[in-house]
Amino acid sequence: MKLLDRFLRYVTFDTQSDPRSETTPSTAGQIVMLQYLAQELREMGAAEVELHESYLTATIPASAGREDEPVIGFLAHVDTSPDASGAGVKPQINGDTISSDGTTLLGADDKAGVAEIMTATEILLAGGVKHGQVRLAFTTDEEIGRGVDGFDVEAFGADFAYTMDGEYLGELEYENFNAAEALITIIGKSAHPGDAKGKMVSALRIAIELDAMLPEDERPELVDGREGFYHLTRLVGTVEHAEMEYIIRDFDSTNFEIRKRALTEAVERVNKGEGMATMDIKDQYYNMYEVMVLCPHIIERAERAMRAVGVEPVIVPARGGTDGARLSYLGLPCPNLFTGGKNFHSLQEKASLTEMRKAVEVIVEICRA
């Protein structure tokens, strides 16, 4: 099957993840897609195709005489962001560009990566390229931070791996945010507004005051590069009860701790007044750079592969997270490579077919013994 045909097929699966779901994976559509991929891999001739509770793995056996090569892994996630609908995607093709009709996500994040790995798998299984053993994994719920929950790194058996989850041509990412999420619950007191003096305590007003205590210029829409931020992702409530959800991001581990402490102190300050707020804060993932600097050969291999197929590597920090960030700290060094997708998490999401084809070439070249 051609790369384009695969991608157009994959984006029709509704695999949007749900952060409020308590199931594994968070939505049933993700398992449906994994089952489809498992069948496709078996038909291609892949070995050890195993569907786990929340992810799929498979093996491309080593070429004859290449069994002693390092085992290389490639990963992509099948879920799409909760930020916009991924149901009923109607892909549009305009020359080299693939987009949705503007009412849904396209799903390039990360079905472009899925399609590229599957297409490279078909090429490698055809036998024209000598390579060591290659391990594949397709995960669920990456967009809500659960992508490698329960992932068995030891059983996966790769010496190192690459996630195919980047954007522009040539992107090679081995630095990412440290990340935390926080849920703040505020309890107020209701009263009739006509007789509220000295009685009413508005949870919504306290929420607004709390948010105003954070630095105004450290919000996602005002920062870039290696600058971190506080992001209020959700605020719902009434006079009596309000909930605020934040994500906290910073590349520097010291600044990361400072940001978490600043949010904690904001909660403490409102509690010194008339507020009654509690916070549950937890870390999500850490900057993979501290792991990757110990194994530069993995980066160098990707750089050589890109140049071999005519792509100039572009080293950029990932202003987000990938499954590779968590896997790196679980013992599987795992930088992130480009897919040709752009404008992720938005209705303007698109993908370049030319860049997707180059991503396939890079995967094959990384595997070449």
Q: Give the single-character DSSP code of 249.
A: E
Task: Tell which residue, 131, 1, 155, has the closest CA to residue 60.
Answer: 131
CA 20 to chain centre: 17
Token readout for 209 is 């005051």
Report the distance separating Cα 360 and Cα 358, nearest Å.
5
14, 40, 116, 142: the active-site residue:
142
- Of 232, 226, 209, 229, which is closest to residue 217 (Cα–Cα)? 229
Active-site pick, 69, 79, 250, 323? 79
d(CA 247, CA 264): 13
Query: Is residue 79 flagged as an active site residue?
Result: yes
Structure tokens at 319: 């202003």
Contacts of 332 (CB under 8 A, 6+ apart): 73, 153, 156, 158, 160, 161
Give residue 42's Cα distance to chain centre.
26
Q: What is the largest CA-CA distance in the chain?
A: 85
CB atoms under 10 Å from CB of 334, counted, come to 29
**For residues 241 and 186, what is the distance between their CA atoms, to the nearest angstrom?**
6
Query: Do 363 and 165 meet the contact criterion of CB atoms below 8 Å apart?
Result: no
Known catalytic residues? 79, 142
